[in-house]
Amino acid sequence: MSKRVIAYCRTSTENQKEEKTIQLQVESLKAYAQKHDYDIVEWFEDDGVSGGLEHRPALARLMKCLETNLDIEGVLIYKLDRLARDLYIQEGLIKEFTKFKKEVISTLEPDLASNDPFRKAFRQMLGVFAEFEKAMITLRMKNGRNSAVAKGRWHGGSIYGYDHGKNGELLINQSEANTVRKMYHMKRYQKLSPKKIAEWLNDEKVPTKRKTTKWHSLTVRKILRNPAYKGYLQYQGQLHPGNHEPIIK
């Protein structure tokens, strides 16, 4: 008789180009389940989330499922670091699963979730390497941002008033730039608050960057305080000259 299990997949925010995407993890788990006679009764997927527990809604639902479904015999994962790279979180989750008398099945590390002393020591050693890998990914990302700022390149996401060029550079969006200039004019010369400016933009049906949302005072305030519009980049509390064309001169 097939063992009833639930499956958990995760990709992290730290490395969006991970070797195993959610879909590839799903395919791997399906193949493993078929080969070893497991019946996957429910799937839980956290796509593009950090390793911290507070930002993983699918994992929270999984834990609730384990509490209320006594007939589920185990949790199937692609690899132990999909639970968490952080050793303490990983071990804590495995302890929770075993508390519910659920087996943890890792397709690439069979039986490593066992409480056998040797396997536990080996699992913890793998966890240390996973933590080191996480630290290196974070360091590379930080160095990448530092390098971008040093060269005057924008290192953030979408910003109202600009479009992104082929190489990620900021290019002025003339229509949005005119709106930005209008905001600065209304604040400086008409002494209007961000709330009043947002109300005016909505009354005039000026589209936001997303086109489907309305203007809010917080959005306007962020634009009015953003040094990027004056040609600067802000990073770690410091201003650095940007290589993009300023909208406000």
Is 161 inside any structural domain? yes
Please give the pLDDT value at position 217: 93
Q: When comparing pLDDT for 130 and 83, which is higher?
A: 83
Please give the pLDDT value at position 17: 46
Q: Are residues 11 and 111 in the same domain?
A: yes
Is 55 inside any structural domain? yes
Is 148 inside any structural domain? no
Q: Are residues 107 and 185 in the same domain?
A: no
Per-residue pLDDT tens digits for 63-82: 889 888 889 999 999 988 88
Contact 9/25 with Cβ under 8 angstroms?
A: yes
Q: Are residues 187 and 99 in the same domain?
A: no
Is 54 inside any structural domain? yes
Q: Are residues 159 and 131 in the same domain?
A: no
| Amino acid at site 131 | E
Identify the top-confidence range among 22-26, 58-62, 135-139, 176-180. 176-180
H or E stretch at 76: strand 74-77
Report residue 101 as tokens. 């008398």
Contact 214/140 with Cβ under 8 angstroms?
A: no
Q: Are residues 125 and 162 in the same domain?
A: no
Q: Are residues 170 and 121 in the same domain?
A: no
Contact 23/29 with Cβ under 8 angstroms?
A: no
Please give the pLDDT value at position 152: 46
Phi and psi angles of residue 149, each rounded to the nearest 5 degrees, phi first: -65, -40
Is 129 inside any structural domain? yes
- The domain that holds 160 is classified in CATH as 3.90.1750.20
Contact 105/74 with Cβ under 8 angstroms?
A: yes
Range of the domain at 220: 154-241
Is 42 inside any structural domain? yes
Tell me the whole-structure pTM to 2 decimals: 0.47
- The domain that holds 128 is classified in CATH as 3.40.50.1390
Is 246 inside any structural domain? no
Q: Are residues 213 and 114 in the same domain?
A: no
Nearest CA-CA partner of 219 in 175, 164, 158: 158
Alpha-carbon separation of residue 179 from 75, 188, 203, 230 (angstroms): 52, 14, 14, 15
Is 249 inside any structural domain? no
Number of domains the chain is built from: 2
Q: Are residues 9 and 113 in the same domain?
A: yes
Phi and psi angles of residue 200, each rounded to the nearest 5 degrees, phi first: -65, -45
Q: Are residues 74 and 177 in the same domain?
A: no
